[in-house]
Amino acid sequence: MKIIVPIKRVIDHAVRVRPSADGRSVEAASATMAINPFCEIALEEAVRLKEQGIASEVIAVSIGEPAAQEQLKAALAVGADRALLISTETALEPLAVARVLAHVAAEEGVELALLGKQAIDSDDNQTGQMLAALLGWPQATFASKVQINEGTATVTREVDGGLRTLSMPLPAVITADLRLNEPRYARLPDIMKARKKPIEQRELSSLGLDLPSQVELLAIEEPQPRQAGVVVESVDELLEQLKNVDKVIL
């Protein structure tokens, strides 16, 4: 069984993100970049399935600028067998990303697509669901446990009311939640080996896909600073504050 794992290059979660001067993007030139944390979790699960003998090959795929090779090398270091970069300088929307991944999945003949549930830069939480729809595959989102047995995936999902377990045939799409696993650290020998492994590169234009933009970005702004709190001495004073000052109750 082949598994495809999309890898997104994002600004490290520990870095404070600032809008660019023109308000059309964020300052990333000097920021530390990393694999999207949920993509790391999906990759770890795929590697574990390979170690269990369930999967035969794990393919890490990234869509973006050449600098994303750094994150693909990191994916190879923790156990991915192959890495593919779909090269483009254009930032793609979730539907466009799903169309590219559907094309790659069909070409590679994969039986399982393991994705992070969302990316920490845009927080869209859409690509996995759109990919399943495009492929016509069953899907299980927000997975906290995955078991594969005889062509069937049993997935425990985190939902608002607690946990829900469902079973579905392969091929399928699964998106990883935070508690699915704890990603491993790459060992130095594996990092050195990964640096020598080739990364297949293809231009986005060579796929022959129509990927029109459907979202217009108006501006990126920092959130307004929080107002200082007010200390009140009694319930009556609190009600007065909420009613006549903050106007949150009538």
From first to last of its 250 residues, what are the pLDDT tens digits of the chain? 999 999 999 999 888 888 888 877 888 777 899 999 999 999 999 999 999 999 999 999 999 999 999 999 999 999 999 999 999 988 899 999 999 999 999 999 999 999 999 999 889 999 999 999 999 999 999 999 999 998 999 999 999 889 999 999 999 999 999 999 999 999 999 999 999 999 999 999 999 998 988 888 888 888 888 888 888 889 988 888 888 877 777 6
The region that residue 142 occupies, defined by phi over 0 for left and psi between -120 and 50 for alpha, beta otherwise, is: left
Positive or negative: CA dihedral 51, 53, 55, 59? positive
Q: 3-class SS at 20? A: coil
CA distance 154 to 132: 16
CA distance 39 to 78: 13
Identify whether the C-beta of residue 58 lies closer than 8 Å to the C-beta of residue 46: yes
Structure tokens at 12: 């490290």
Listing DSSP states for 49-63 in one string gives HHHTTS-SEEEEEEE
Give the model's pLDDT for residue 14: 86
Give the model's pLDDT for residue 15: 86
CA distance 62 to 201: 10
Give the model's pLDDT for residue 221: 85
Which residue matches tokens 């590697």?
47
Give the model's pLDDT for residue 6: 97
Domains of the chain are 2-245 (3.40.50.620)
pTM for the complete prediction?
0.87
Looking from the CA of 202 toward its CB, the CA atoms found within 13 Å total 15
Indicate the DSSP class of residue 223: P
Q: Which is nearest to 100 in space by CA: 114, 82, 89, 85?
A: 85
pLDDT tens track for 80-118: 999 999 999 888 999 999 999 999 999 999 999 999 999
Give the model's pLDDT for residue 180: 96
CA distance 45 to 216: 35
